Structure 1
């Protein structure tokens, strides 16, 4: 038994790989993980069907958005010893309608006082205006290109991923791709969602802040203390929650520490509340009317994208500790969105914006496509039909070629085992199957059968194989040819795998994996099978 295992270890390795693929494909332990915000794992498993395979938009339906990031970048800007924040603020000062958050400077070299890149992400700023602002601020440059820096692209991708995850959209992905001209795009794919839903989630910059309205004033119209809290001032952000009365809120806590000598965000909010309460004449609580401008008490204003979405007061349990100066010891409260229709969805959006943050740059004009789940199911069915037809076509041609079942049948089974092993790998790493990946599978079947035909022809071309020594000599000659062909395929496909060229990457990855599995596992196993069937000594 042990001798047989040692003699046919290549066949044993193939069987082991197929068993491992079976476990990965069907065992519940390898089922896709649950999505964010409490999406149940069993729902994901049900959506995936009998196997643990995941499907891309082509086969499952969903939205794909491909768009560049809006902005301009000035290259090789001498900083002359100034820190990047100073450079950014000075350039922003020359763009009156642009805030400092829309201008960013990145230090790239420390030589000669430092130099780097300066970018503007305000969509209303033209290239000419940006160039004029750089000149007015006293900064030279080595040219301005359309687009943003790599750092901004990475930050934007991270923010969009955060928005998708916080919204509980299981299976969504965001990555950077580059077209043939070298232009960078952000590719967003979200299964099961329509274009409008995905666009509304990601296109807005999603800024959230807390203002305080103080009634009275010299003109009697009241004043607004703006930006008492911004997105960066929140520490812990809870999920959107419904109340028993039909309202919705997001529980939050505020950062309560700061560098020595500076005021923390919690201390700033507490101080501003004390000043507003004093200006309004004081009281045990703040009662805010639906129209905050008509309120006789101060109001906290929840502002999303510069629009007041809700105004709310504070009862004694929150206002009292603030006025006594003890609230900073436990700086938490609720951002309420009222009880009107859509308040819970607004609370969800606020939670997403606070957790994920604002996009560093806006998405520009690009392309968006939607594949309905029905169409995706049709693609699955047609892909299965094409796969079955390919199997029968390959098997039929092999049988016609050799007329010997002991040669043709192992060849067909071995070729299909490569595809089965690739499916197991896809399930193991959670790689979504799409039409490009299936095309890679078909390419693997084609190249695999070609190699197996080379082996069979080389072994049987010079007449009957009368000994294992003769078989091994002929098999080695065939394997050199197969190895050279595999190396050529890998070299040709490698650029497609490493470059960000969208669907072509999946095609290249699985073609290369199939070639490697073939050379390292299935071709040697087929050689062992033929040796056993064709030789007696």
Structure 2
């Protein structure tokens, strides 16, 4: 028999071997199938690269960490008829009428509906007060137009920002998603391995609104403050660094649009002249003499520093705008890192409501026990299934390939999880065990149908019997997928992981492992 004939007769087995080989590469070869940076935030690569023998990523149940589900603070008025050129005016009126700052008000136009939506990101304004403020801005609104919660676009923005925050902070393996409660309330769900609830809550509670203010003499013996750079004015932000000249700092670059205005302000306010090196912010007896650049995060001053001569010279001559870079100082490495993260991630569109959050955490030591017990349970399930199958058939030609094929299915699933950096949790482990059980059930159906009516003496007889068995397996697989599909789609916590693994296992079984087992069994029984 030629090579082409062999491949044609056993291509399903060859496909199974190839997939198992690819899965083993994804599991054990450092870096897996694709570079690590292709999956930012998708696994624990940085933390586990040297400790784990595999490329598998683990979730909270197997690695420890914290999950916080919190609603978004906000109130929304929808389907408002506002002229496009008045959106900014309406925002300004809402700020004045309700006494909130600009970061907590948003008026957006929705192209699909043709209406505007106004959002208020505070929790101390009633629906009636919000509607009254809209009417003061010339918008026809009633209390019935206002509801609790924020829009989907705002939630999507928050999810993107938090994802960037946890990735920039080096919290590999973190995940951010959205879930909903039966009452219609939406939650932002953040999972981060190896972090305590207090640490994660601190990260999420920081709104991350960064600005630079000029603190300079007002000419009357006092000081005045003027915002000279806002979060959107930064074009590039480098990681936090340290050197003897600047101490802890974050190198930044200013956008081409904002750089000329910033340079002009520094010259106008005297920072490049008498203000060079003159900053004694907070020191007694310095009022009316300070020229300080204040770094403000969420309304609090994190650092105050003067304009250095190396920066003042190019600004004075007008050359700085050609290469608009400088460093923002911070008192410690922690605050410099937080500043860098906030600048790169951007600010949260709205704060999270931690008074109504739901917190789940697992200690790393307990997670290690879960990991060990999961491995022991998996091994015991395989040994038990192998023993039962052998007792049922007492024929190694039937039982041996059955167990090997079922294990190959699990290896392919594990390789897939490693390739996409899926953080495995206890629910996924339950799914793997279910896959082993349902997989062997299907293989038993094949063996029983093929061997029930006596010896198989030809390839044609085997194919006929195998086809009958495969119809039963296909129908069972379709039923399983239909039953599990809602669990895989809906936000039902750990049940989702169980459903996803089960569905993937069924699909791999129907299209790969069951046909491959049929080819192996046909060869062993008929020699063809």
Cross-structure match for 1:117: 117
Please, which moves more after superposition, 467-476 or 415-424? Answer: 467-476
> Alpha-carbon deviations, 1:7-65, whole Å to 9, x = none?
2222222122112211221112417726989x997754114x11111111111111211
- Contact 2:431/2:498 (8 A) holds in 1: yes
Offset at 1:151?
Answer: 0.9
> Alpha-carbon deviations, 1:75-118, whole Å to 9, x = none?
322335655444444444432x212332223323577xx31432
Q: 1:310 aligns with which of 287, 303, 307?
A: 303
- Contact 1:211/1:224 (8 A) holds in 2: no
Offset at 1:361?
Answer: 0.8
Counterparts in 2 of 1:370 and 1:536: CA distance versus 1, 3 Å: closer
Offset at 1:336?
Answer: 1.6
- Contact 2:90/2:134 (8 A) holds in 1: no
- Contact 2:281/2:292 (8 A) holds in 1: no
Offset at 1:427?
Answer: 1.1
- Contact 1:78/1:140 (8 A) holds in 2: no
Cross-structure match for 2:132: 132
Cross-structure match for 2:173: 171
Counterparts in 2 of 1:213 and 1:108: CA distance versus 1, 3 Å: closer
CA–CA distance in structure 2, aligned partners of residues 75 and 335 of structure 1:
40
Cross-structure match for 1:360: 349
SS of 2:276's equivalent in the other structure is coil
CA–CA distance in structure 2, aligned partners of residues 392 and 27 of structure 1:
27
CA–CA distance in structure 2, aligned partners of residues 321 and 293 of structure 1:
32
- State yes or no: 1:68 paired with 2:68: no
Please, which moves more after superposition, 11-20 or 26-35? Answer: 26-35
- Contact 1:212/1:226 (8 A) holds in 2: yes
Counterparts in 2 of 1:92 and 1:225: CA distance versus 1, 3 Å: closer
CA–CA distance in structure 2, aligned partners of residues 386 and 462 of structure 1:
37
Cross-structure match for 2:431: 440
> Alpha-carbon deviations, 1:336-392, whole Å to 9, x = none?
224xxxx22111111111111110011113112222221111111010111112112
- State yes or no: 1:54 paired with 2:57: yes
**Unmatched runs of 5 consecutive residues or more in structure 1:** 258-264
- Contact 2:44/2:173 (8 A) holds in 1: no
Offset at 1:516?
Answer: 0.9
Counterparts in 2 of 1:375 and 1:40: CA distance versus 1, 3 Å: closer
> Alpha-carbon deviations, 1:512-533, whole Å to 9, x = none?
1111111111111111222222
Considering only aligned residues, what root-mean-square deviation do their CA atoms show, in Å?
A: 2.7
Q: 1:411 aligns with which of 402, 409, 419?
A: 402
> Alpha-carbon deviations, 1:491-510, whole Å to 9, x = none?
22222223333333322222
- State yes or no: 1:255 paired with 2:255: yes
Offset at 1:476?
Answer: 0.7
Cross-structure match for 2:217: 215
- State yes or no: 1:347 paired with 2:336: yes
CA–CA distance in structure 1, aligned partners of residues 65 and 27 of structure 2:
23
CA–CA distance in structure 2, aligned partners of residues 373 and 463 of structure 1:
55
Q: Size of the alignment, in residue pairs? A: 517
TM-score, normalised with respect to structure 1: 0.89
Map 1:71-110 onto structure 2 (within 5 A): 71-79=74-82, 84-95=87-98, 97-109=99-111
> Alpha-carbon deviations, 1:197-222, whole Å to 9, x = none?
2222221112222222223643x3x2
Offset at 1:429?
Answer: 1.3
Counterparts in 2 of 1:314 and 1:135: CA distance versus 1, 3 Å: closer
Counterparts in 2 of 1:61 and 1:246: CA distance versus 1, 3 Å: farther
- Contact 1:239/1:351 (8 A) holds in 2: yes
CA–CA distance in structure 1, aligned partners of residues 382 and 506 of structure 2:
18
- State yes or no: 1:23 paired with 2:25: yes
Offset at 1:327?
Answer: 2.9
- State yes or no: 1:503 paired with 2:503: no
- Contact 1:176/1:187 (8 A) holds in 2: yes
Cross-structure match for 1:276: 269
- Contact 2:46/2:172 (8 A) holds in 1: no
Cross-structure match for 1:475: 466
